[in-house]
Chains A and B, each alone.
Chain A
Amino acid sequence: MRKISVTTKLKFYSALAIGVILISCFAKWLVPFDPNAQNLSIALMVPNGTHWLGTDMYGRDMLSRIIMGAQTSVLATLFLVCLVSVLGTLLGVFSAYKGGAWDTVCMRMADVCVAFPGLVFAIALASVLGGGILNAVLALTIISWPKYARLARGQALVQLEQDFVKAARLDGTTGFKLLWRFIFPNILDTMLVTALLDFGTLLMELAGLSFLGLGAMPPTAEWGAMLSKGRSMIQTSPWTVLGPGLAIFLAVAIFNLWGEAMRDYFDPNLKRGSRNA
């Protein structure tokens, strides 16, 4: 059986992931019905020709809510991943470059943040701040940035010892210019792959907070919140949980596979020949 090349895999999963992101961005125009419009006379309708994935307990179209839910779940996760990876990378790289007190304070802050059990801390924070998707994102940001800061710091310390960086320093290149030209480009692939592999985890954590009532607030369609609403009806109206459950499963699988394909693509151990084999 012919092996699929790393590049082909990357292209395939990139297309799928971008497809999901595009659906999320244009959800408003793709939904067949108003996802928030209630019609109690058609509550809990089984999937049929009009409502392909059935209706929920309020008579809202499940397909429309799942598509609209992609906007909340995927875009919020995308925002969260960007936020934690950029914030963590910047803090980690500056820690490595500055050293001393800056490094100590930054890394101890990271230690404090990771000392709490992740989701429990997020639940506690979201409880204090109140519900809402932005508060859930903030809670997860606080517990997720240290991973990136530590990784970026380690990578940056290695790069700072490289001869070409020392040469650049001797040449008078310092500060932001040094980091921008010589450090960030050399750690970018590692940070990117880590962020993509984290996407699935963070999507599930965000959905978990919504499931517990600490994320998206009604009537916002969000996959975790939809699962939570439907779980008591799993035996009587299973479509109310199958739809959002499947959506979470597919989104997590696609972004995980995309991350793995990206990691393989950047893996220096895989020679150019094997990439195209």
Chain B
Amino acid sequence: MHNTGKKLLALLFVAMCIAGCGGSKNATTNREKVFTYGTIAYGPQHNDVGLNPHEGYSGWSTVRYGVGETLFKFDDAMEPRYWLAQSMEHVNAKTLKITLKDNITFSNGRKLDGQAVKECLEDLLKVHDRASGDLKIAKIDAQGQDVIITTKTPLPALINYLSDPYAAIIDMQAGVTADKKVIGTGPFIAEKVSDSEIELVKNSKYWEKPVKVDKVHVKAIHDSDTLTMAMQSGELDAAQGLPYSSLELFAKDKNSYQVLTEDTSRTFLATMNFLSPVLQNLYVRQAIAMGIDKANFTKVLLKGNGTTAIGPFPTGMAFGDFKVFASKFDLVGTRKLLESAGWKDTDGDGYLDKDGENLTIRWLTYPGRAELPLLAETVQATLKQAGIKVVVNSTANFRDFLKRGEWDIYANAMVTAPTGDPEYFFTTMALEKSALNRGKYVNPKLDALEAKLSQEFDKNKRANIAVQMEQQILNDVAFIFVAHLKMPFVMKKIVTGFRPHPSDYYEITADLDKDF
């Protein structure tokens, strides 16, 4: 009996040892390489849940996580280059012939040909909310490996729009599953998709090159502090969207982590409300623009993870900041401009007033992007020195305030050139009929320039027109551009082949690898 007890104890001990050897999902079993990736940029609030590119912004997830690919891909200068396409030919101003590479198959084995692309793009135009307006496609024809696209009007930016993740090519015959999985041509195949997680396995038949990791787990972690701690605990191999204040934790531990950053066209900008009586005066708008200390905001509050903005586009682009000018930070100048507009501090309360009312600006923003409330508060402090009272409203409920018009300046973050082309920003934000012209800014000169831009195919001439348009909105102070952000990625030292891209589209690729 005594011996039996000892044997049982020994057996229990061995069983416990074996159980203890069992690993988490993150562990490597049978030399299987599993890459775990944490991100704040996936989930219902970003409208990118699932992998169906024809739905909202889910195309970003399709391309970001290596499931789908587009006909063209942006290079580091945001110029479209061939990806699934082999070559192209402008048949005339409205017709583009694209020839596909001949060696590509979807992950289910179906060959990629013109018919597959036609089926995919036709569904995109039918169901997607932005694509038909952007692409203006009248007809698509398929002949073997060729796709012939005819647009309703000449569309110089067609290739740029075809590089947008919504145009990722998926097998429409396989369709979209109930849990939003699709069959693409990318290096990974979706196994499981939910609102908070994506599980991928490698596509062993990937057309371009061998895929190095076996599995990828993408985890949505929306609290940036939780993301930081998950990275520190070793639960994640890489993380996107860590707060700038956490980066130094990883940057100083060079033996364990690597921090990579990339300049992007994601811009902090402030939109002026032209329906607000106080902002209808150009001097007041100029004074506010002059009273924002962009340099210190970028250096201290963004901790150098951005560049001071002048216009909507960063300097790396042909139509970027180096081509335009705006007034510099000058509080004395701000005060002078306001005095010219008739604002004086008559009651000695430190704020300028006119007709018995203080110069008050309602600054609307949202806390979803941690640095926007910081911008609001620093603007509040500097403009106070110039005699402007800024009332900050930083709320997750900001859309209601926008709808009700209860704001003077709205500050947000926006990717100003998601397709590498300048036209998107103007057509979306600044024209009389723009869907997101929240401030109701109207300038016929700008609309006339847009008419020219929309017909111009020559890149240099397009850039020149874009610069004129930028300068126009800067002269009118319709927007104040504060900073272009850098996108930081933190990963373990053992991770290789993860390269941030200015477009923010390409993250998980066939090159991704990790050492044991």
Query: Among the listed B246, B377, B394, which residue makes an inter-chain contact with A58, where contact means beta carbons less than 8 Å apart?
Result: B377
The answer to whether B381 and A219 have CB atoms under 8 Å apart is yes
Query: Among the listed A40, A127, A232, which residue makes an inter-chain contact with B397, where contact means beta carbons less than 8 Å apart?
Result: A127
- Alpha-carbon distance between A218 and B376 when the two chains are bound, in angstroms: 9
Interface residue B258 (Cβ < 8 Å from any Cβ of A):
no
Q: What chain B residues lie within 8 Å of A88 (beta carbons)?
A: none
Q: What chain A residues lie within 8 Å of B396 (beta carbons)?
A: 127, 213
A residues 44-58 in Cβ contact with B at 8 Å: 57-58
User: Given A213-B395, A219-B381, do A40 and B373 touch, yes or no (CB 8 Å)?
Assistant: no
Interface residue A38 (Cβ < 8 Å from any Cβ of B):
yes
Q: How many whole Å from A208's CB to the nearest CB in chain B? A: 15
The answer to whether A130 and B395 have CB atoms under 8 Å apart is yes
Query: Among the listed B293, B370, B394, which residue makes an inter-chain contact with A232, where contact means beta carbons less than 8 Å apart?
Result: B370
What is the 8 Å Cβ interface bit string for chain B, positions 177-202, against chain A (1 contact, 0 not)? 00000000000000000000000000
Interface size on B, residues (CB 8 A): 30
A residues 109-129 in Cβ contact with B at 8 Å: 127
- Alpha-carbon distance between A37 and B381 when the two chains are bound, in angstroms: 7
Interface residue A235 (Cβ < 8 Å from any Cβ of B):
yes
Q: Is the interface of B mostly helix, strand, loop or mixed?
A: helix
Which residue of A has the minimal Cβ distance to B374? A57
Q: What chain B residues lie within 8 Å of A218 (beta carbons)?
A: 373, 376-377, 380, 392, 394
What is the 8 Å Cβ interface bit string for chain A, positions 184-204, against chain B (1 contact, 0 not)? 000000000000000000000
Q: How many whole Å from B78's CB to the nearest CB in chain A? A: 31
User: Given A213-B394, A218-B392, do A235 and B378 touch, yes or no (CB 8 Å)?
Assistant: no
- Alpha-carbon distance between A41 and B378 when the two chains are bound, in angstroms: 13
The answer to whether A43 and B300 have CB atoms under 8 Å apart is yes
Interface residue A236 (Cβ < 8 Å from any Cβ of B):
yes
Q: How large is the interface on A (under 10, 10 to 19, 20 to 34, 35 or more residues)?
A: 20 to 34
Q: How many whole Å from B33's CB to the nearest CB in chain A? A: 30
Interface residue B301 (Cβ < 8 Å from any Cβ of A):
yes
Interface residue B245 (Cβ < 8 Å from any Cβ of A):
yes
Q: What chain A residues lie within 8 Å of B382 (beta carbons)?
A: 38
- Alpha-carbon distance between A235 and B394 when the two chains are bound, in angstroms: 25
User: Given A127-B397, A213-B367, do A232 and B392 touch, yes or no (CB 8 Å)?
Assistant: no
**Centre residue among B225, B245, B246, B376 by max chain A CB count within 10 A:** B245
Interface residue B249 (Cβ < 8 Å from any Cβ of A):
yes
Interface residue A233 (Cβ < 8 Å from any Cβ of B):
yes
Q: How many whole Å from A123's CB to the nearest CB in chain B? A: 10
Q: How many whole Å from B501's CB to the nearest CB in chain A? A: 26
- Alpha-carbon distance between A58 and B377 when the two chains are bound, in angstroms: 9
Q: What chain A residues lie within 8 Å of B243 (beta carbons)?
A: 232
Interface residue B29 (Cβ < 8 Å from any Cβ of A):
no
What is the 8 Å Cβ interface bit string for chain B, positions 271-310, against chain A (1 contact, 0 not)? 0000000000000000000000100100111000000000
Name the 4 nearest CB pairs between A and B, nearest first.
A38-B381, A40-B300, A218-B377, A232-B243
Q: A37-B381, A41-B300 are in contact. List 7 more A-B contacts (CB 8 A).
A: A40-B300, A43-B300, A57-B245, A58-B301, A131-B393, A217-B392, A235-B246
Provide 29 A-B residue pairs closer than 8 Å at the C-beta atoms, listed in order of the A residue: A36-B381, A37-B381, A38-B378, A40-B296, A57-B245, A57-B301, A127-B395, A127-B396, A127-B397, A130-B393, A130-B395, A131-B395, A213-B367, A213-B373, A213-B394, A213-B395, A217-B394, A218-B373, A218-B392, A218-B394, A219-B380, A232-B225, A232-B228, A232-B246, A233-B245, A235-B228, A235-B249, A236-B246, A236-B248
